[in-house]
Structure 1
């Protein structure tokens, strides 16, 4: 690699990270071709990769790398024991730590990290996982400091962050290793048992010597025992737990089938009986373990969002002092009012206000928005977002559990902890089904005992195996887990367990206007004061609006505003309070100034006007596209706003909403929704303000804009974490697909049992084939559910 001539052709994006190129990009010659880079950091990373003979990375990768940037990265603080305490642990020959990075985008990234860090002096072992974003690093502290390999990671574009503590990591690793060991043991046992079983089955004429037959059976016994009691332990433990709580579930039927096949085979082996069924027992365990692993993968699609949110929470922060000096401190040490310096490529440590003129932040994790968002001086910046392009300074306003990142984490965890009504119904049906199948199995055994005693146990085993309600039990939970993962990917979080089911049945969508269809960026366009100076009117207005979550309050920001007391919010009308010993009102003309409501914001004492404000706001960029998409989905759109009729009608006309209502109080909005519901319509309400909380609670399904009032979010079924309304039709589409897939899964489970159970009762299905059919049924519904984990289009 060498410097390229200045007149080389301009590429469409950075060769290393794919980011847009600046006017004068950095240039290098790679493999005889001129390549352009967005920054010197990406160029240096590409040069090091080539010089280290790791150039295959560019050939193998399926996604671009992360942007490296030019902000110097100082990892010296990672060498302090108090920083990595609880994260690093002593191992043979050195120490081990697991770090996280959000830069691994394909398997080639993991390949590059493994080989790049292995070249670092003192690094003993490296394991990078492109799926989880985790990097396990073992190093020798006597040879190198931890900061050295971490600095190499950052120089390649994979900035490391502290993962969860070693206890959580060890528990996760042990659970994963146990699961893999159980599946591996069960697969080997199943193959061996089937191989020996086939030799016994092929002896149709009964000419095999008894000694050979007994030898094969005892060998199969030795192979099957660890499969049943170790690999199958999760089912045995689950069955014991179900029986202890006096209920019958899937694990009871699984364990009954497995133990019956195994114990009957042991008895037949000891007494030299005609048949053994070890193969059915081990096949049962192996195939069910595979099905459960796939179900766990579906659940991990939703859990990954919690993991990603936890990953976004940095452990360290850079605090800046008034004289410009900086110090690195734990995030927990930040206080409200501190100034935090955020380097390019680093996550924001706390919620705050931007102090610089402009900066761009990547908010995909919080909002689902794939492109960096530009913020200007005074704009809100949230913890967990990634600073892009250039360093930024923010004044901290919320820390720790009060940040928006923590609120979203709680919402996701709350949604995952709930069991939707559909899943509860499926559990009850499965419990009744287990009782029915046990009765059917008992009746089958009695009938075959009377008809052909030699086959009674074999047929009963087949009935128990083939009738296990695994597909029924997995059909709904697997689909819902995958669907919640899909929702999280687009920045939509469910706070109620049945939100998806209700969203799939929606026929009408009612929108609020201000802050929902408009961008919430209210601006003051004109001030007319009466017997008061303009500046004084603005100060009083700013005092009354201070702390208000209504989007129009953003138009009144005065640094020298006095404090207001006795604040009272009157829904749909305005705000009343005491400012400098005098009672003031701000809001509609008839409420604040005794004037006719003309759509402007008035300031007065309730009878006499003091000032009139004209407020301007812009429609959201994607409002029209969202309305068109919802119309295409067959939904009726409505607009109910507390704003003036002229503004409401103009906005509705632009967007394409025929039914628009102006000057609606919270009670009016709720009554409007109730009327639609009385007509048999299923209504979704979309809003963001404090005044929307009653109607959000009264709608069939409610969606709150994540940037709005906390009370509105608590009343909502779904929270739109970002500002893009385009997530709404995506969520509706996903909800409808979820309902369709749940119906498909239930239909398959029902059809399978209707067809397979009579065949088993009639003795047409051997136990091993019954186990295969049951497990295949479970795999079908799980794989079908996994389709929902894809990001909705």
Structure 2
């Protein structure tokens, strides 16, 4: 009786993350996931494992997130299912993921270098062979020698340089589908086979140089695509980077100890000094201060907090010293929750299937069938296997999907370059395709419709001059805005800052206060963001502030409406400022007081209603909605995490960039469709010519290159539309 040995399965229990509801999640690194087909195959297989409720693959990070139902699920079974599918996995480690990405980049660079070497050196032997076509015949022995040298140099280079395509084609065929790499791989391999056959049989033409040149050009595009993914850092990681690297824990005896953020546990007593960000969610035990929540909620005015109030990680402590009781670990903070929203949105967005891939799903099988029928039909009609194979190879080469593959990328590159000159950076290869489809635009207020800098309304020089000495002594954002409105001058003496209230000091021998209404001794009107100033026993002066609207906001929104788009404002700010900004910009639909989750829910509700949403935002409270929207834009002044969650980033103070981007995207969409039409027309003419023997592989390579050139020239017609800024 034969004995079998099963290798012990690694215990993945320590890598499971338990939820309050009893379920668990597991993150795995799956380095061999490379395309939408791989994603679908992996997610389908893992979801079928007992106990698994959901599986999502992040293509850019090669990360698989598996969710288990409460009390069920076998992590080892998930790993075993992936192994059986041909996708080995390990527990996710960001450093390991980076190493996989770096290794893939090195392989592409090496393959491209080998292909470039092969092109240059194969041409040395191919050019003399070509010269024979123009009456400068080589002797038979010399011609055969040149063919052999061309094959000795070109074939190994083509085989090595083609490995990325061969592997991709093999994985695609194993998944019972054909991607763009399948005809490329078959065409290259058959071209090499025909060339060796012609060399051995002392035929007239060889095509080693054509095979290597084709791979060299394709590898350039593949490497650029890889660099685009590698340079786009994770928005979720950038969000979490806003958390403090450490926290100051207060011990039982009052001793202060700096500890890593991950070591903070619920119940720990923490010290947060002015200028520090809150490390975790918690409740204030002692102290009063102003918190800047603008990155979390979008509110421009600082919020006063005191003992007994709950606060969230990521808020900036402006004035007072706080003692904070942690209510959650760093991984469970509100900031981490926003990061998970961004991560989920990025995973969902990676499911987008490009138009070229949809066309290839029908195109590739048809081309293979036609080539096979050409070979079988030619042989059956008496051409002989050699001539029939040459015709079949000519069909594959002349119909090589280079033009189809360039149809969208050439347009995207041209459109991206034009937008870059207009101050818009396109970060995602498919962003323009999605942007062309949007029918509803959602704007954040602070930093998007507005410039993101509070300014003094109706400044009175005399009043500003009175309050300026105290304003210069404060770090409060509104005090800084007041200082900007004043000229350089003296600073008040004997200044005392009252956390959450304002500042008090002496100006020319008189005590004065600058801050909240109650601090100065008057009732607040509550209709605007305000500061009050007054000397003891004297009349009090009110300063009102607002965030200035972008100079062309109303014009840009009118232009968007003229293009058939509906517009809405979602803001975390107070209703009063939001209503005024919306009215000034000409937007009737607006909502104030939105949390990050509210914005995500609003975008998802619009999508469920059939809308394709363009989200334009700049803060942490926008990051989740940016990731979930059909297309996303952020200003260049936005938080880095929001810029990374967006598809496009625009610079400058004008919203004209949003309209320009929509115009260029729509123009690019039209050019892409035209390119597909040109590619189809080319194949409708070239394929029959190759089938009938009017096109040999050499002419097929020239025709294929010409079709790619036509598609590229048409892509250059991508314009900037009607909008001028």
Quote the Cα distance in structure 2 between the aligned partners of 1:490 and 1:326.
48
- The residue number in structure 1 matching 2:105 is 176
Match of 2:270 among 333, 339, 345: 339
1:188 paired with 2:108, answer no
What is the deviation of 1:282? 1.2
Quote the Cα distance in structure 2 between the aligned partners of 1:298 and 1:735.
22
- The residue number in structure 1 matching 2:145 is 215
Q: Could you give the per-residue CA deviations for residues 488-537 of structure 1, whole angstroms, max 9, x where no partner exists?
A: x999999xx9997676455666889999989999xxxxxxxxxxxxxxxx
What is the deviation of 1:185? 0.5
Quote the Cα distance in structure 2 between the aligned partners of 1:491 and 1:755.
33
1:628 paired with 2:555, answer yes
Q: Return 5+ residue gaps in structure 1 as ranges.
A: 1-163, 522-558, 560-612, 667-685
Given that 2:444 and 2:570 are in contact with CA atoms closer than 8 Å, whether structure 1 keeps it comes out as yes
Q: Could you give the per-residue CA deviations for residues 207-257 of structure 1, whole angstroms, max 9, x where no partner exists?
A: 533333333222222222322322101111122222222222211110111
- The residue number in structure 1 matching 2:156 is 226
Given that 1:348 and 1:384 are in contact with CA atoms closer than 8 Å, whether structure 2 keeps it comes out as yes
- The residue number in structure 1 matching 2:404 is 472
What is the deviation of 1:419? 5.9
1:738 paired with 2:665, answer yes
- The residue number in structure 2 matching 1:273 is 203
What is the deviation of 1:659? 5.1
- The residue number in structure 2 matching 1:435 is 365
Match of 2:166 among 206, 229, 236: 236
- The residue number in structure 2 matching 1:203 is 132
Quote the Cα distance in structure 2 between the aligned partners of 1:406 and 1:493.
24
More relative contact order in 1 or in 2 (CA 8 Å, sep 6+)? 2
- The residue number in structure 1 matching 2:491 is none
What is the deviation of 1:626? 3.1
Q: Return 5+ residue gaps in structure 2 as ranges.
A: 1-92, 454-499, 501-523, 530-545, 643-649
- Give the direction of change, closer, same or farther, for the CA distance of 1:770–1:292 in structure 2 (3 Å limit): farther
- Give the direction of change, closer, same or farther, for the CA distance of 1:731–1:519 in structure 2 (3 Å limit): closer
Quote the Cα distance in structure 1 between the aligned partners of 2:193 and 2:238.
48
Given that 1:490 and 1:727 are in contact with CA atoms closer than 8 Å, whether structure 2 keeps it comes out as no
Given that 2:582 and 2:588 are in contact with CA atoms closer than 8 Å, whether structure 1 keeps it comes out as no
- The residue number in structure 1 matching 2:699 is 766
Given that 2:435 and 2:630 are in contact with CA atoms closer than 8 Å, whether structure 1 keeps it comes out as no
Q: Could you give the per-residue CA deviations for residues 291-331 of structure 1, whole angstroms, max 9, x where no partner exists?
A: 21223334446x33448627836794142537886544322
How many residue pairs get aligned? The number is 505
Per the normalisation by structure 1, the TM-score is 0.48
What is the deviation of 1:181? 0.7
SS in 1 for 2:132: coil
Match of 1:287 among 217, 225, 232: 217
Quote the Cα distance in structure 2 between the aligned partners of 1:185 and 1:270.
25
SS in 2 for 1:621: strand
Give me the CA root mean square deviation: 6.3
What is the deviation of 1:187? 0.6
SS in 2 for 1:329: strand
Q: Could you give the per-residue CA deviations for residues 517-568 of structure 1, whole angstroms, max 9, x where no partner exists?
A: 89999xxxxxxxxxxxxxxxxxxxxxxxxxxxxxxxxxxxxx9xxxxxxxxx
Match of 1:321 among 238, 245, 250: 250
Given that 1:420 and 1:498 are in contact with CA atoms closer than 8 Å, whether structure 2 keeps it comes out as no
After superposition, residues 281-430 of structure 1 pair within 5 angstroms as 281-300=211-230, 303-306=232-235, 309=238, 312=241, 316-321=245-250, 326-335=256-265, 338-339=269-270, 350=280, 378=305, 395=324, 399-403=329-333, 406-407=336-337, 409-418=339-348, 423=353, 426-430=356-360
Q: Could you give the per-residue CA deviations for residues 558-614 of structure 1, whole angstroms, max 9, x where no partner exists?
A: x9xxxxxxxxxxxxxxxxxxxxxxxxxxxxxxxxxxxxxxxxxxxxxxxxxxxxx98
1:700 paired with 2:608, answer no
Given that 1:466 and 1:773 are in contact with CA atoms closer than 8 Å, whether structure 2 keeps it comes out as no
Quote the Cα distance in structure 1 between the aligned partners of 2:153 and 2:320.
62
Quote the Cα distance in structure 1 between the aligned partners of 2:431 and 2:611.
9
SS in 2 for 1:758: helix
SS in 2 for 1:746: helix
Quote the Cα distance in structure 2 between the aligned partners of 1:405 and 1:247.
41
- The residue number in structure 2 matching 1:51 is none
Quote the Cα distance in structure 2 between the aligned partners of 1:461 and 1:221.
17
SS in 2 for 1:246: coil
1:263 paired with 2:199, answer no
More moved, 650-659 vs 286-295:
650-659
Q: Could you give the per-residue CA deviations for residues 613-662 of structure 1, whole angstroms, max 9, x where no partner exists?
A: 985355653378534321133357777999xxx97997389515385799
Given that 2:374 and 2:391 are in contact with CA atoms closer than 8 Å, whether structure 1 keeps it comes out as yes
Quote the Cα distance in structure 1 between the aligned partners of 2:323 and 2:700.
67
Q: Could you give the per-residue CA deviations for residues 334-356 of structure 1, whole angstroms, max 9, x where no partner exists?
A: 24565366898x98755679989
What is the deviation of 1:180? 1.0
Quote the Cα distance in structure 2 between the aligned partners of 1:731 and 1:174.
37
Per the normalisation by structure 2, the TM-score is 0.52
Match of 1:747 among 674, 686, 704: 674
What is the deviation of 1:704? 9.1
What is the deviation of 1:197? 1.1
Match of 2:584 among 655, 669, 689: 655
- Give the direction of change, closer, same or farther, for the CA distance of 1:285–1:409 in structure 2 (3 Å limit): farther
What is the deviation of 1:429? 1.9
Quote the Cα distance in structure 2 between the aligned partners of 1:650 and 1:166.
47
SS in 2 for 1:197: helix
